[in-house]
Every structure is written in C-alpha cells, then in structure tokens.
Amino acid sequence: MPADGVELTPKPSLLSQNEIIRLADLFVSSGVDKIRLTGGEPSIRKDIEDICLQLSNLKGLKTLAMTTNGITLGKKLPKLKDCGLNALNISLDTLVPAKFEFMTRRKGHGRVMESINAAVDLGYDPVKVNCVVMRGFNDDEICDFVELTRYKPINVRFIEFMPFDGNVWNVKKLVPYSELLDKVVR
C-alpha cells in the first residue's frame, strides 16, 4: 500500500453485476472456460456471492477463481464455495505480523492465515498463496513459505515484484528465480 493510499474508483465507474454477467456470458459462449475475479479486492463487493452464483451457472465455465487479500474472506468462504467459487489464490507477502502491518498499513495477518486454513478445511486443493518477493523485505522467509506446503494442500507462487505507482519499486529489490531455488534446495 503506497504511503498516500490509493484512490478508490467511484462506484458508478465499476461494472455492475449485470454488466459483469453479460460480459462473462459473451466470453464463455465464445469458448472461455475459466474466469478469475480479482481487483481491487473482489471479496468486499456486497454482491460477490450473487456474482459467483450467476457466473458458475454459465454453461461451459469450468473454473471460477478469485485472487483476494484474504482479510475478510474466511467468514464468506463457505457461502462463496456454495455459490460455485472453485479455485482460490490468497495474497500474502510475509508470515511476520509486524511486517504485514508495515507493508499493508493495516492489521489483519491473523485473518489472512485463518482464511488460508478455512480454504484448506473447505477442501480447496490446492490453495494458492501468492507471495511477491522483495529483497530485504521477505527474501529471508522463502523457506518458511515453502514449509507451509509440507503438510497442507498449499501451493506457494513466488511472484516477481513489479513497478506500480508509489510502490517504491527498485531493481535491487528483485530476487532472481535461480536465487530463490538455491535458497530452497540448500
């Protein structure tokens, strides 16, 4: 989260539920069989359950996925699953609560962990955890993230840190794939 926060898109500029379903219907009837809800933060939309239900009823759609920050997901997940959400990516860049608060400028690390565990308990397999790797911030946690996958159906996806407005991107923060692999196999 940039220091100045982010400007929220005004509601009238967001796709309405009808527009989302209409667009999705056009794509699915043309052969698309996977839709991912992302954002912004999809789980905070008040009509997210309805959207999932309608999308999952589109004939030909096989995968309805969501990428979420996981903060408010835990409680909503059983209903979302009933509404047809069948694949889940939860973003989490650190396993250290204080670092989480520094990075996201909010509390909530425990709730994200609860969401990951709720997803496992509900039978999501795999539960994908998206971790953006930044040198000097979380590259010392690579093996702890890998450890998460030892006994649970969790896949960790290490993602290259990309420059977005205000996120203090710097080439020195990139960690090459070979270095990550080296840390894991050592």
Ligand X SMILES: C[S@@+](CC[C@H](N)C(=O)[O-])C[C@H]1O[C@@H](n2cnc3c(N)ncnc32)[C@H](O)[C@@H]1O
Binding site for ligand X (CB under 6 A): 38-39, 41, 67-69, 91, 130, 132, 159, 161-162, 164, 167
Contact, 160 vs 134, CB < 8 A?
A: no
Q: How far is the CB of 40 from ligand X (least distance, A)?
A: 6
Residue 36 or 57: the one with the smaller Cβ distance to ligand X is 36
Nearest to 162 by CA among 152, 151, 173, 178: 173
**Nearest-approach distance from CB 148 to ligand X, in angstroms:** 16
Which residue, 58 or 70, has its beta carbon nearer to ligand X? 70
CB closer to ligand X, 3 vs 185: 3
Give the nearer residue to ligand X in terms of CB position, either 25 or 96. 96
> How many of the other CB atoms lie within 10 Å of CB of 1?
12
CB of 159 to ligand X, least distance (A): 5
* Contact (CB, 8 A) for 165 and 171: no
How far apart are CB 61 and ligand X at their closest, in Å? 20
Q: For residues 39 and 76, what is the distance between their CA atoms, to the nearest angstrom?
A: 17
